[in-house]
């Protein structure tokens, strides 16, 4: 029941946005409150998972939350809560100044609710076919959200996004069909053949060649949604053009949800073929992704795109971690949590900065610390965290990742990863420096309100706490998840 309540929260929020039920301001407040409730429910669910192992609902465990799902639920609802709360705080509608602002506002809240719902469904449903449907639906829900501002760039970004996203995800469906075909040929037809629990139980019986083929399609398909190179081309456009709360949710949680889908298939494929095949594929993808991110990060002229490319980099790291055995998976999932906290904070603040300076161009933003002392300081904290500096949580997760790599006997891979990270470091730091110091342009209003930034306290707390130590229950939850992915 808890699970159903969790899924109902964002759906209810979306339904409340229908005109005639609530005023626009209360729609926003209801959205924030319901996503907060969803976050609380996820924490309770994670507790149940720690106590009992699995929480499920429906015939043959239609909805099913295990350790892995629980971690993802925390990421999705946590980011959703902060993003919607933050977006609600100001009187600023997402498309201020455009005609039909109220209409746009309602549409924004309805789609944001649906977006959150589809992500929650994707990580709680047991059937990999329905998981596919949910992840495809995230594309549909977010396409309009990216295009909300109706500028030329936003239009181009949303077209690229919906086209590349739909095609990528269609290829993931080919992989899903092949997995189902494999099952039916080897085991026989059952209505639950696409249930992840059933698939992984009979995986040893599956045909290795078809399994390999299915995984390639799945990796390319969901990899497109996860922003893994070379299928990442839509990501910097979409993430930089979307309204700030949506950018935060897309970068912080949607990418991780897509990687989750790959991990679910990895378990099945590994049970059939052993881990070496998927590990090799994932490591190769991760290295290409990191290289692309490192090369393109250095030459960005727009700070929202900078953040987007940084997401590509961090997805590369998570992808790498998931190929390094149980310690690597723990590091990757911890990284998903810490990256979600840091990146959603950075994107939300970038939205504020853009509103103040009226541009997302790196060259035009100067003197951030003078114009917006609180925002500037937090933004700096977010970027430093994303660089993996202590005491932020990403430092710890990246260290764990590197150690997992060396223990797994892959010093060459880790050497390359370190080199690429070193390339990224000065690029981001130089850009940050230029933004923070100097004189703001003439006529830029000064001052900001720490109260408005309150929701980000959650992000800061997560980053700081996880930078110092991993609380016992979280450590146990991560172990549960790692045991599932790398038994």
Partner 1 sequence: MAPALFSRLVTLASSLVLLSGLAVLWRHSLAAYIRTFARQSFLIVLAILLIAAQERDVRLCVVAALVLVIKVVLIPRVLHRVQRHVAADFEIHPYVNTPLSLVIAGALTLMSYAVAAPVVSLADLPTRGGIPLALATVFVGLFIIISRRSALSQIIGFLILENGIALLAVLATFGVPLIVELGVFLDVLLGVLVMQVFVYRIRETFDTIDVDRMKDLRH
Handedness of CA 33, 39, 40, 42 (dihedral sign): positive
3-state SS, residue 231: coil
| The one segment of 3-11, 190-198, 282-290, 440-448 that binds partner 1 by CB under 8 A | 190-198
Cβ nearer to partner 1, comparing 121 with 248: 121
In angstroms, rounded to a whole number, what is the distance separating the alpha carbons of residues 474 and 479?
A: 9
Asked if 423 interacts with partner 1 (CB under 8 A), we say no
| The one segment of 15-23, 79-87, 123-131, 434-442 that binds partner 1 by CB under 8 A | 123-131
Cβ nearer to partner 1, comparing 41 with 143: 143
Handedness of CA 474, 480, 484, 485 (dihedral sign): positive
Encoded one letter per residue, x for contact with partner 1 by CB under 8 A and - for no contact, window 223-252 reads -------------xx---x-----------
CA triple 313-230-412, angle to 5 deg: 60
Asked if 213 interacts with partner 1 (CB under 8 A), we say yes
CA triple 258-308-260, angle to 5 deg: 15
Asked if 150 interacts with partner 1 (CB under 8 A), we say yes
In angstroms, rounded to a whole number, what is the distance separating the alpha carbons of residues 441 and 406?
A: 48
Encoded one letter per residue, x for contact with partner 1 by CB under 8 A and - for no contact, window 292-311 reads ----x--xx-----------
How many CA atoms within 13 Å lie on the side-chain side of 188?
0
C-alpha 205: how far from chain center: 33
CA triple 409-410-414, angle to 5 deg: 135
Asked if 188 interacts with partner 1 (CB under 8 A), we say no
In angstroms, rounded to a whole number, what is the distance separating the alpha carbons of residues 480 and 482?
A: 6
Cβ nearer to partner 1, comparing 158 with 375: 158
Task: Please select the residue that binds partner 1; options are 24, 29, 92, 160, rule is CB under 8 A.
Answer: 160
Asked if 438 interacts with partner 1 (CB under 8 A), we say no
Cβ nearer to partner 1, comparing 104 with 459: 104
In angstroms, rounded to a whole number, what is the distance separating the alpha carbons of residues 340 and 459?
A: 8
Task: Please select the residue that binds partner 1; options are 75, 157, 424, 435, rule is CB under 8 A.
Answer: 157
Buried residues in 236-255 as b, exposed as e (16+ CB within 10 A): bbbbbbbbbbbbbbbbbbbb
Task: Please select the residue that binds partner 1; options are 18, 44, 102, 163, rule is CB under 8 A.
Answer: 163
Task: Please select the residue that binds partner 1; options are 8, 22, 43, 174, rule is CB under 8 A.
Answer: 174
Asked if 155 interacts with partner 1 (CB under 8 A), we say yes
Residue ranges in contact with partner 1 by CB under 8 A: 127, 129-130, 132-133, 136-137, 139-140, 143-144, 147, 150, 152-153, 155-160, 162-163, 166-167, 170-171, 173-174, 176-178, 180-182, 184-186, 191, 193-194, 207, 209-210, 212-213, 236-237, 241, 296, 299-300
């Amino acid at each position: 029941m808890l699970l159903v309540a969790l899924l109902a929260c964002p759906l209810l929020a979306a339904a409340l946005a229908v005109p005639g039920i609530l005023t626009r301001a209360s729609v926003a407040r209801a959205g924030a409150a319901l996503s907060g409730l969803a976050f609380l429910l996820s924490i309770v669910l994670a507790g149940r998972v720690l106590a009992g192992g699995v929480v499920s609902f429906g015939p043959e465990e239609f909805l099913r939350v295990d350790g892995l799902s629980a971690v993802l639920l925390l990421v999705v609802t946590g980011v959703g809560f902060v993003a919607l709360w933050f977006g609600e705080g100001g009187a600023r509608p997402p498309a201020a100044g455009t005609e039909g602002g109220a209409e746009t506002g309602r549409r924004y809240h309805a789609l944001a609710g649906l977006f959150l719902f589809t992500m929650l469904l994707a990580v709680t449903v047991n059937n990999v076919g329905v998981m596919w449907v949910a992840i495809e639906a995230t594309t549909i829900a977010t396409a309009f959200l990216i295009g909300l501002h109706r500028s030329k760039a936003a239009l181009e970004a949303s077209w690229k996004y919906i086209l590349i996203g739909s095609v990528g995800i269609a290829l993931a469906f080919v992989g899903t069909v092949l997995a189902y075909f494999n099952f039916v040929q080897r085991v026989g037809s059952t209505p639950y053949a696409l249930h992840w629990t059933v698939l992984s139980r009979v995986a040893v019986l599956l045909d290795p060649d078809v399994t390999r083929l299915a995984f390639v399609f799945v990796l390319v398909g969901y990899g497109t949604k996860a922003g893994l190179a070379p299928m990442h081309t839509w990501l910097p456009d979409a993430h930089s053009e979307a309204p700030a709360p949506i950018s935060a949710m897309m970068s912080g949680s949607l990418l991780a949800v897509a990687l989750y889908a790959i991990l679910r298939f990895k378990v099945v494929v590994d049970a059939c073929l052993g881990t070496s095949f998927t590990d090799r594929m994932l490591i190769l993808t991760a290295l290409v992704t990191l290289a692309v991110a490192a090369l393109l990060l250095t030459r960005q002229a727009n700070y929202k795109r900078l953040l987007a490319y940084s997401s590509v980099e961090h997805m590369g790291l998570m992808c790498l971690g998931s190929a390094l055995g149980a310690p690597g998976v723990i590091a990757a999932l911890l990284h998903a949590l810490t990256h979600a906290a840091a990146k959603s904070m950075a994107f939300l603040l970038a939205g504020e900065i853009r509103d103040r300076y009226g541009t997302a161009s790196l060259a035009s933003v100067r003197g951030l610390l003078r114009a917006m002392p609180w925002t500037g300081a937090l933004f700096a904290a977010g970027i430093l965290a994303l660089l993996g500096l202590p005491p932020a949580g990403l430092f710890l997760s990246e260290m764990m990742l590197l150690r997992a790599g060396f223990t797994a006997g892959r010093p060459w891979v880790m050497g390359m990863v370190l080199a690429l990270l070193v390339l990224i470091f000065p690029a981001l730091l130089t850009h940050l420096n230029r933004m923070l110091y100097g004189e703001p342009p003439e006529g830029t209003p000064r001052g900001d309100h720490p109260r408005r930034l309150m929701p980000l306290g959650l992000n800061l707390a997560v980053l700081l706490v996880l930078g110092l130590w991993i609380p016992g229950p979280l450590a146990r939850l991560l172990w549960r998840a790692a045991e599932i992915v790398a038994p």
